[in-house]
Amino acid sequence: MLDLKFIRENLEVLKNKLSKRNLEINLDHVIEIDQKRREIIQEVETLRNERNTVSEIIAAAKKEKKDASTEISRMKEVSQKIKGADTTREEIEATLRDLLLRIPNIPDETVKEGKDPSDNVEVKRWGEPPQFDFDPKPHWEIGEKLGILDFERGAKITGARFTLLKGAGALMERALINFMLDLHTREHTYQEVFPPILVNRTSMTGTGQLPKFEDDLFHLVDPDYFLIPTAEVPVTNIHQEEIIEGKNLPLYYTAYTPCFRKEAGAYGKDTRGIIRQHQFNKVELVKFTSPETSYQELEALLNNAEEVLKRLNLHYRVVSLCTGDLGFSAAKTYDIEVWLPSQKDYKEISSCSNFTDFQARRANIRYRSEPKSKPKFVHTLNGSGLAIGRTAVAIIENYQQKDGSVLVPEVLRAYMGGMTKIG
C-alpha cells in the first residue's frame, strides 16, 4: 500500500512511475474519493465537537438538578446527523481503502523499464552448463524410470499437478530442505521458524496477495483461512501490528514450508513434470530492515540464495526483472534461474525482492530508530532459498548419467545416508 499523503502530494510523478508497470491504474479516482473523505470527516468532527460540548453542559445542569430538556432534544437531532454522516464516512473510507490496496508498489529507480520478461536484464552468470555425450532427458522421464517420481498416483490421490515422491526422491526432498536450512541458519545467521501454513485474510492482505489475487489461492470456507502460497506470508506477518526496537534490526528469518498455488491462468504451461505443482516445498528467506539498508540487504539475500546453487554446483544466471514483469508488491526483484539441460534454457528457481515499506504499511510493521523516536515503517524483503522441487529437478537433469542414474551432489550425500547415486 502506498501512503495516501504521498499520493496526494506527488500525483504526477507517481502516475509516471506506475505507468511503467504493465497495467492500468486510475489515481485520479483515488484523489477524488480522498477529497470527499476529508470533507465528510470535517463535518462529522464538527458535529461531534458540538455534542461533546453540550453534553458537558447537560451533565453540569443535571448535577445542579436544573432542567436540560431543551439541550437534550437539540442533541437528539445532532446525534441523528452524526449517525448519518458517519455512515457516509464509513462507506467512503471502505471504498478508498479497497482502491489503495489494489495499487501496486512503485518500481525502484534502478529497475529497467520494460514490457515483459524479454526485457529483463541478465546481471550475472555462474558456472557452466554440463556437457553430455548423450541426449539429456527431461526429469520426468528419469524420475519415473528410477521410481522416485510417480505422477499417476499423485493424480489419483488428489488430481493434476500433484506428484507422489518415493524412495530416494522423497529422501532427496528432505535432504535438500535440511541442507538449505542448515546453510542459512549456521552460516548466514537466519533464525529458523516454522509458521502456520494456513493463514487468515488479514495476513494475506498484509503481504499483498489479497484483495487482488484471491483466485490464485486455495481457500478454506469454514473457517475463512487460506493455504499459504509462500512462507513469505506467515513469516512477514510475524511482526504484523508491531513496533520493533531499532537496535534489533535487521531481522533475518528462514522457514521451510509447503506452498500451495492454484496456478490459475497457467493452463498448458509446464504441464509435464514437477516444475509447476499445486503443492511444493520451499525454503524461504525473509528480512526486516531499516529503509536505509534495504537495498544492500537485498544484494546480500540474493547472495545467500545463490550460495545454495554454488554448493550444489548447478549452473545459473541472475536476472533483474523489468518494470512490466515486476510483482505487485515488489519495488525490485532478482530472479535466479537455474540451467535445465532438457530445455536448454534457464528456469526460475528463486525470486528475491525488496518490498520497501509497501507490505509494512499494509501489515503495520514499524520500528523506532531511537527508543523515543517516532515509529517508522520497516522495509521487508524475501527470497526463495530455494524452491525445493525445482532444485530437485535441476539435480536430476544436470547430474543424470548415460545409464539413467543420477549422481548425488557432494554436499547432499551426508544428508542422504551417504548415498552417492540414485539408480
Partner RNA sequence: GGAGAGAUGGCCGAGUAGGUCGAAGGCGCUCGCCUGCUAAGCGAGUGUAUGCCGAAAGGUGUACCGAGGGUUCGAAUCCCUCUCUCUCCGCCA
Amino acid at 400: Q
Nearer to RNA, 37 or 161 (CB): 37
Per-residue DSSP letter, 403: T
- Catalytic residue chosen out of the listed positions 320, 351, 353, 384: 351
- Cα–Cα distance measured from residue 255 to residue 285, given in angstroms and rounded to the nearest whole number: 7
Nearer to RNA, 242 or 348 (CB): 242
Q: How far is the CB of 352 from RNA (least distance, A)?
A: 31
N-term to C-term CA, the chain: 51
Radius of gyration, CA atoms only, the chain: 27
| 390: annotated active-site residue | yes
C-alpha cell at 291: 529503509
Residue 269 burial (CB < 10 Å; 0-12/13-18/19+)?
Answer: exposed
Q: What angle in degrees, to the nearest 10, is found between the helix axes of 168-182 and 139-146?
A: 120
- Map residue 414 onto helix, strand or coil: helix
Q: How far is the CB of 185 from RNA (least distance, A)?
A: 24
- Cα–Cα distance measured from residue 220 to residue 198, given in angstroms and rounded to the nearest whole number: 9
- Map residue 38 onto helix, strand or coil: helix
Q: Name residues whose C-beta falls within 8 Å of residue 303's C-beta, 6 or more positions apart in sequence.
A: none
Q: How far is the CB of 226 from RNA (least distance, A)?
A: 15
State the DSSP string of 82-130: HHHHHHHHHHHHHHHHHHHHTSPPPPPTTSPP-SSGGG-EEEEEES-PP
Per DSSP, what are the bridge partners of residue 63? none
Q: How far is the CB of 257 from RNA (least distance, A)?
A: 16
- Cα–Cα distance measured from residue 178 to residue 184, given in angstroms and rounded to the nearest whole number: 10
Q: How far is the CB of 37 from RNA (least distance, A)?
A: 10
Nearer to RNA, 94 or 414 (CB): 94
| 351: annotated active-site residue | yes
CB distance 365 to 377 below 8 Å: yes
Summarize as ranges the residues that interact with RNA (CB under 7 A).
5, 38, 41-42, 44-46, 48-49, 51-56, 58-60, 62-63, 72, 75-76, 78-79, 90, 371, 374-375
Residue 3 burial (CB < 10 Å; 0-12/13-18/19+)?
Answer: middle
- Catalytic residue chosen out of the listed positions 8, 48, 174, 276: 276
- Catalytic residue chosen out of the listed positions 161, 261, 361, 366: 261
C-alpha cell at 155: 493424480
Q: How far is the CB of 265 from RNA (least distance, A)?
A: 33
Nearer to RNA, 38 or 145 (CB): 38
Nearer to RNA, 61 or 411 (CB): 61
Q: How far is the CB of 328 from RNA (least distance, A)?
A: 24
Nearer to RNA, 80 or 271 (CB): 80
Q: How far is the CB of 423 from RNA (least distance, A)?
A: 33
Report strand pairing: 149-150 vs 164-165. Answer: antiparallel
Q: Name residues whose C-beta falls within 8 Å of residue 328's C-beta, 6 or more positions apart in sequence.
A: 104, 105, 208, 212, 213
- Map residue 336 onto helix, strand or coil: strand
Per-residue DSSP letter, 374: P
Nearer to RNA, 63 or 344 (CB): 63
| 348: annotated active-site residue | yes
Nearer to RNA, 59 or 414 (CB): 59
- Catalytic positions, written as ranges: 261, 276, 348, 351, 390
